[in-house]
Structures are given as structure tokens and as C-alpha cells.
Chains A and B, each alone.
Chain A
Amino acid sequence: MSHLLEVKNLDVKFDTDEGRITAVENISLSVDQGEVLGIVGESGSGKSVTAKSIMKLNPGNTSYNEDAEIILDNENVLQFTSKQDLKKIRGGKVSMIFQEPMASFAPAIKIGAQMVEQLLIHKNINKDEAKSISINMLKRVGIADAEKRFNQYAFELSGGMRQRAMIAMALSTMPKLLLADEPTTALDVTIQAQVINLIKDIIKEYQMGVIFITHDLGVIAQVADHVAVMYLGSVVEKGPVNEILKNPKHPYTKGLLQALPDINNLDAPLSPIPGNIPSPLDRPTGCVFRTRCPHHNPEGKDGKIEMKLIEVETGHWVDQCGIKCGQNG
């Protein structure tokens, strides 16, 4: 069976005043219908850039590599240039939920009007139908007084409510793929728990594929089926959520898990990963993690081992150097 989405060998580079930045290097990912792929990584690891590539939303200073492919429904979206094609990946087959819901609603247009407009662009329906779909969707995401909210502006809603409205807007066009970029990071934990449950219910109901981006491993454990761990633009490890969180192989994944304060294990010391995340301008050659890795494999440390994922268990892929060094370290 072919995947709903398949990203193959993607590099994303940006030309900036300070030079060319490699934001994403050689990543390959896939998402099936009804499946949640979690992308986890610290700030600057390339999570948002990856998601934006799928909608071709990266700005003008972006360059993709020639041999990269982003196959959605058997079409390579990286080849899309016409308005008609781009429409498919921007609100048609793909929708995105952003971390800051204010960013996706125009401040001076009522929520309902924005939802209707979006539906009219993407669906062959009339205004009344669009309105009723929108109101139903607002109800579906748990917004009380949906008719009233339909006529309000985004700033009139509380944070949690706005996030629900944005989810409603993203879902109303029934995308095949939902990109959720830190959709709960700005929310309080009790509201986050509500929104996570909502997203999970909806995925089940509509059987869409989802990329769920977060820096929170706890959130990943709660929502994802598969996980890709990113560091400085590279996927260093990926696989089924249980494997990655319970049987991590890469020193970075292990380090992240040890650095996390676990409320169920208060006696565990907090162990930071030594050093700092390098600037993307000083991205290490070879293993991207080598400047902070606790293991001492001279080859890895010198940047002589190339990054390359290998399969260690069915579906569990780890950067080869992670294994080589891990064994020697």
C-alpha cells in the first residue's frame, strides 16, 4: 500500500545575510491514513520548516534539493507551481493548525466569515451550506453557543476556545492530512488535555493522517503512533512510539528522556545534555550531535561518520553512528 504522505531525502536550505543555512537535511518520513506521526525536537531542529515544506509555505529564500520528493496522494508537491495545484496543499488536501491561533485568524474578520470563505475556495458548495458546515464543526470541537461564536472575532475568544475554533477551521474542509504545529504548547495543562482528546477523537472519526509537532515528549507519548526525533535538521531516530520512548537507541533521544523531569520518579536526578545546541551556521559535519554526545568514539567525534538511518528492529530506525558510537562508548 502506498503511503498518504511520503517525504524522501528532503533538504531545506535558506539563504541569509550570514550565509546559507541548512535547516533540514536528508529527512525521509511517511504518514498513513488514520495515523499520527509525531515529530519531536528542540527549538530550531527543523520541525516547522519540514511541515511548511509539505504546504510549500517556506519563504522566497528557500531552496530544496533536486532529488527530494514530497509525495502526497501520488503527486510530488515540490513540483507544484500552479495556483490550482497549490490550492490542493493549502487548505484542500492539507490543513495546518499553528501554535499561536491568533496567527491564523485575520483579526478584523469574523471567525465564521473566514471559515465560510475557506470552504467556498476549496469546496463546490454554496454559502448556506458552508455556514452550516462551519457551525456544525464549531459544535463538534466543543464550542458552546456555536452560532454566536460564528459571528465573533478571534480576539473575543479565550485561548482554549480560539484553539478549538482553529481546529474547527482546519478540519472543516476535511483534509486528508492535518499538520498540527505545537497546537497545545501555548495552552494550560488542563486545557491541553481537552484539546489533545479532541484531536484524537477527530482523527479517529475522520481517519485523516496527522503530523503532530511538539517539543514535549509527554504529548508525543499521548498522541503519536510513530515518532521522528529531530536534532539540528536531521532525523536521528524514528519508529513506533513505544519503541522510541521505551527502547531509545540514539544518544540524543536517551539524553532527552533523561533530561525530562518525570513526576513519577522524583528521585531521579535531572541530567542535562552537556553543552549548547550549535547555531545552524555552525552545523557540525558528520554526526550533528557529536558536539554534545557523551560517548567518545573518535571517528564520530571527528565528524568522519556520515549520518545514515539503519533499521535496528522492525520499523525502528536509528542513525548508524548512534549505534556505532553507542557500542564503543
Chain B
Amino acid sequence: MGDNLISVNNVSVNFDYQENFISKKQKIHAVNNINIKIKKGSFFGLVGESGSGKTTLGRAILGANKISSGNVIFHDDERDYDLTDMNKQDLKEYRKKAQLIFQDPYAALSPRMTVRDIIAEPLEVMKITNSREETDERVRDIAAKCRLNIEHLRRFPHAFSGGQRQRISIARALVSNPKFIVADESVAALDVSIQADILNLLKQLQSELNLTYLFISHDLSVVAHVCDVVAVMYLGHIVEMGPSRELFKNPKHSYTKALLSSIPSIDPEKRSEAIELKGEIPSALNPPPGCVFRTRCPNPGVDCKGGEINMGLTEVEPGHWVDQCCVI
């Protein structure tokens, strides 16, 4: 356990859903029986299409979503925190240590606050610093690490470009000196020429500040470039997980294969190699029984169709896990 920072054990998150007040209450199975271990200092990627449960899982790990069953353990240096069993004091401590970087650098920053105040806010809310001088020093320090100029601190966020705003969001997330960062689609809203800069910054800060990331993205090329371990989600389940290079070179699950083949190649001579999937992702209100991917699987086995096979990961190579049904 010593080298893991986060253990996610059999975690499920359900939401109640009722179409209108007379209709029957239903359950949205947003995240189902997830098991992951995030190593200290790793860049752990979570990929999958819209609605697959990435944000819900990320929020559950941050303690921002109720966990319906299972638990999440944060292994701090001195002690473990069990997120499903925390008192107020623990929760306060945890909030300092685990932070979120938002997706949208435009929406996330209050237009009426200066950059300095935006970055300082977590310190003040969590009462981390004791004086204005101390706060200012921490703000200046982290702003410099995020390559913001001192004179930027006096300005308002509207004066900044997308890339600069994202650096402000990152500085705000890092000012409380966290150990664990959830970056949810943190580069999705950025232009390509800027995106690479933010990814490089995240990498650099990781080694400078000993950070561990959960990096959520629907962009596989980005994930392949920055993450060391990747989990692929589909309809609330992890269908495959492993070291990034191994997984992208040697995908085993039909969904991972289809997803990889769908990335449009920048080589005009390599056209139309996508494994075309039929239809769309089923609703999380009534996921298909058995293998959740079987309604779209391009080559289902005989056993898969009836839905008798249960989901569950099997280790096929050291650290490379695949949903068992495909392995058979």
C-alpha cells in the first residue's frame, strides 16, 4: 500500500431520478463497482465518452459526490483517510490536500475578483494563512510557478486569454499545497497551440511539487501523451486499465480498440480505418445486463449476447486489466 495515494474500492455512485413527481423513482447507475489504485506521483488518466461517469468518479474521490457503496481511501503520510467515514475536521484537512482544476477557464473565475483574490480565496476560506503578508507570499509564489507575472495579480480575469486563465485556475487549485489534483477536462476548452503549454506546465508542476493527478479527458491523444496509467470507462464501468503505452499499443477490449481507431489520423493517406460502432451509448437509467458494451460491440461472442457474462477486470499482463468477458 505504501506507494499508493488513493485506493478506490468497489465504488458505486447512483443518482435518484424521477421524470416528474408522479412517475416512478429510478436509479441512474453513474459509476459501478470501480476499483483503482492511484500511485503517488502518477499521472492517472480517465478516458471515456460523454456520460461514461468520469466526472462522477472524480467528484466521488474528492468527496464531492455521495458514494453509494464501497469506499475511497486517501493514504496520507501520517494516516489514512476513509472518505466514507470522515468527521468535519478530517473533511477540512482533506479539502486542503485534494483539489479540483475546472474545465472551463471562462466560467470558473469570478469576473469581479482580481487574480490575486481569486488565487488567495482557498487560503482564506480554509484559514490556512494567518496574515495578509503570508497569503500574499503564497499567492506570489504559486503564481510564479504557474508562469503568471506579478503585475497580472492586480488585474481582472477578463483581461486574460484562455491559456492564461487556465494558469490562474491551476494556481488557485495549487495554492493550498495539495497532494492530489483532479484535472477534469482541463485543456478541453483551449486551442491546440495553447493546450500543449498547459500540459507541459502540469507535468512540470508535478515533479516540482510532488503532485499526483487524476486527469480526466475525452481526448485520447492528450491522455496518451501525459498519463502513465490509463483507465477506460464505458457506461459507468472501467472496461480496461493499464500502463498508458501498453494500453495504447496493445488494447484488448473491443471498446478500447474502437475508441482508438476512431481518433481521426492527421495523415490524409490513412483514411477510414475507424471500427464503426453501431448506435450510441445506452442510457445509464437502464444499462444492458451483462457486458455493458454488448449493444454496440462489433464482434460479440456467442456468450455475450444473452448478457450472462458479468463485468469484472482480469489481469492479462502485469498491471494491464481487461474486462473479463473479452478475455474469454
Contact = CB atoms under 8 A, between A and B. Distances in A.
Interface stretch (A23-31, A50-58, A255-263, A305-313): A255-263
A188 B54 CA distance: 14
B268 interface: yes
Contacts of A241: 268
A108 B1 CA distance: 56
Q: Is the interface of A mostly helix, strand, loop or mixed?
A: helix
Contacts of A263: 220-221, 224, 248, 260, 263
A102 to B, nearest CB: 15
Contacts of A266: 224-225, 245, 248
Given A42-B192, A256-B192, A261-B222, A272 B197 contact: yes
Contacts, number: 125
A194 B277 contact: yes
A42 B265 CA distance: 19
A196 B281 CA distance: 18
A231 B192 CA distance: 13
Contacts of B270: 221
Contacts of B276: 193-194, 197
B280 A161 contact: yes
B269 to A, nearest CB: 7
Interface string A265-305: 01000111100110000000000000010000000000000
B35 interface: no
A189 interface: yes
B110 interface: no
Given A190-B259, A261-B196, A263-B220, A216 B248 contact: no
Contact of B196 (A191, A221, A272): A272
Contacts of B277: 190, 193-194
B258 interface: yes
Interface in B224-279: 224-225, 245, 248, 258-272, 274, 276-277
Contact of A192 (B195, B222, B264): B264
Interface in A34-80: 42-43
A29 to B, nearest CB: 19
A188 B220 CA distance: 11
B266 A276 contact: no
Nearest to B50: A188
A286 to B, nearest CB: 20
Contacts of B280: 158, 160-161, 191
A255 B277 CA distance: 33
B262 A189 contact: yes
A224 B266 CA distance: 11
A242 B269 contact: yes
A133 interface: no
A273 B245 contact: no
A149 to B, nearest CB: 14
B75 interface: no
B207 to A, nearest CB: 15
A257 B219 CA distance: 16
Interface residues of A, number: 44
B9 interface: no
A189 B264 CA distance: 8
A229 B218 CA distance: 25
A93 interface: no
Contacts of A272: 193-197, 200
Interface string A210-250: 00000111110110100000000000000001100110000
A243 B50 CA distance: 34
B28 interface: no
Contacts of A262: 221, 266
A221 B266 contact: yes
B199 interface: yes
Nearest to A222: B264
B164 interface: yes
A78 B156 CA distance: 41
Interface in B182-204: 191-197, 199-200
Contact of A276 (B49, B161, B195): B161
A16 to B, nearest CB: 15
Contacts of A159: 50
> Max chain A CB contacts within 10 Å: which of B199, B218, B225, B259?
B225
Contact of A215 (B191, B220, B267): B191
A270 B263 contact: no
B236 to A, nearest CB: 15
> Max chain A CB contacts within 10 Å: which of B49, B196, B266, B281?
B266
28 contacts: A43-B191, A188-B49, A189-B49, A189-B262, A190-B277, A191-B49, A193-B277, A194-B276, A216-B264, A218-B266, A221-B264, A221-B268, A222-B264, A222-B265, A245-B266, A245-B267, A257-B266, A259-B192, A259-B193, A259-B195, A260-B266, A261-B199, A261-B225, A262-B221, A264-B265, A270-B199, A276-B194, A277-B191
Interface of A: 42-43, 158-161, 188-194, 196-197, 215-219, 221-222, 224, 241-242, 245-246, 255-257, 259-264, 266, 270-273, 276-277, 292
Given A189-B263, A219-B264, A221-B267, 5 more contacts: A190-B258, A216-B264, A218-B265, A266-B224, A272-B195
